Amino acid sequence: MAANVGRTIILRWGDGSPLPAVAGIREKSVTLAGEAIDITNDDSAGWRTLLTVPSTQSVEITCSGVATDDVLKTAYFSGDRTGTAEFVYSDSSYITGTFYLQEYSETGAHDDAITFEATFASSGVVTYYTAGGSPV
């Protein structure tokens, strides 16, 4: 993957097609996790041994920015917290799947814009598509 400028990464979330971009984002990140299964036994000579297949895989997407609309806050309070998320890179590769809006917070300093932070947790299979559109 070639280098990308952070501001060119787009987070799309919701339902429908095309998915709307989450407005006002300044920072975003994606965390890929796979919980290891420890299979250490007496034959391991004291060394921890991990199974090559994870017990649980997950993806977490976090973002923060300036609150320019109330889409995420409305989704949180309405209970409509599950939707499709796409984390789109400038080379057209992307990560997509069903996500749960796990956390939403707002901060409003006296003399600054209201900012927000949100966390999306995967719920089911998440797929990575290369810039050529092929799933990995």
Report the pLDDT averaged over residues 8-24.
89
Locate tokens 């429908």: which residue? 16
**pLDDT, position 114:** 92
24-70: pLDDT as tens digits: 999 999 999 999 999 999 999 999 999 999 999 999 999 999 998 88
- DSSP classification of residue 43: G
The Cα–Cα gap between 25 and 13 comes to 12
Report the pLDDT averaged over residues 120-131.
96
Q: Is the pLDDT of residue 109 over 90?
A: no
Mean pLDDT of the chain: 92
User: Where is 71: in which H helix or E strand?
Assistant: helix 71-78
Locate tokens 């299964």: which residue? 37
Whether the Cβ atoms of residue 90 and residue 9 lie closer than 8 Å to each other? yes
**pLDDT, position 32:** 96
**pLDDT, position 2:** 66
Residue (of 35, 61, 55) closest to 121 by Cα position: 61
Strands 56-66 and 114-129: antiparallel
What are the residue ranges spanned by the domains of the chain?
6-129
- Predicted TM-score of the model (pTM): 0.86
**pLDDT, position 1:** 55
71-96: pLDDT as tens digits: 899 999 999 999 999 999 999 999 99
CATH architecture of the domain with range 6-129:
Irregular (4.10)
